[in-house]
Amino acid sequence: MTLSQLQEATEFLKQQTNHFSPQTGIILGTGLGALVQDIDIEYAIDYENIPHFPVSTVEFHKGRLLFGTLTGKKVICMQGRFHYYEGYSLAQVTFPVRVMKLLGIEQLIVSNAAGGLNENYQISDLMIINDHISLFLPENPLRGTNLATFGDRFPDMSEPYAADLVAKALHIAQANGIRAHAGVYAGVTGPQLETKAEYRMLRMLGADAVGMSTVPEVIVARHMELPVVGISVITDMCIPEQLEKAEIEKILAAAYKAEPNMTFIIKELLSHFVSGKAN
């Protein structure tokens, strides 16, 4: 990934969207695509048509970049993301986040489907991510020559998820009777699910949920000093002593059940966004 490749992709999208200038970037995770039904879409561009963009290979990730308006705010939405397990480098996985920044976003919202490690969680609960563990990823999206145009060589990660946005999301959930927790997300490579011993280790390290995405995008967003809010949908429970065989149909069903609550929180957050912060 080079700056010229990022600029080429950005210029292509500007030309295709009449220089649409989004305020917020949104990345939708597995089984969490219903939000797009609420977006007043002005432009929809397939990933395969965007210069240097990866192509989503996961069957339930649509693979489109959407430009439109949601709750009166201009947004750019990834309908389907990329994963390390698809064979991409983490620089490729996070390429769209760089492009969204060049297009003008002021904050990033990321969502994912995750396995619950905290015994207090239930399937289809939401977890507002307040921290993450990235030690299990085999590489780093910032590895290599630093793109100084975007940020420092050694970006601070003391607050990867904006504290004010975490608090606002939790307040929205509580005020509307939505089961939501604040917790730590552990990012792993996949595509296989973890063993009982691995789940046990993750719990000992302080993780409340585990998944195969999000962390690389957040690292790159924070490198560019973008405020981030992350929401996990707990689609299966990963308590070693009670572990059941994972079934993708049940995971997707749990995500679909939680979608309305996640969509509601995202829309409410957007209505409060002012220059990258929640008021």
Domain 3-278, what architecture? Answer: 3-Layer(aba) Sandwich (3.40)
> In the block, which residue shows the tokens 């990321």?
110
For 105-128, write each residue's pLDDT tens digit. 999 999 999 999 999 999 999 999
Question: For the chain, percent helix, then strand, then coil, each to nearest 5?
Answer: 35, 25, 40
Q: How many CB atoms lie within 10 A of CB 247?
A: 10
- Does the pLDDT value for residue 53 go beyond 90? yes
- Does the pLDDT value for residue 194 go beyond 60? yes
**pLDDT at position 274, please?**
59
**pLDDT at position 30, please?**
80
Percent of the chain at pLDDT above 70? 96
Which residues, at least 6 apart from 253, have a Cβ–Cβ distance to it below 8 Å? Answer: none
**pLDDT at position 47, please?**
95
Tokens of 44: 């929809």
End-to-end C-alpha distance for the chain, whole angstroms = 36
Contact present, 63 and 145 (Cβ < 8 Å): no
- Does the pLDDT value for residue 136 go beyond 50? yes
Contact present, 42 and 69 (Cβ < 8 Å): yes
Q: Which amino acid is at 26?
A: I
The Cα 256–Cα 237 span in angstroms is 16
- Does the pLDDT value for residue 276 go beyond 80? no
Better-predicted residue by pLDDT, 62 or 4: 4
Q: Where are the domains of the chain?
A: 3-278
Q: How far is CA 227 from CA 29, 63, 123, 216, 224, in A?
A: 19, 24, 28, 15, 9
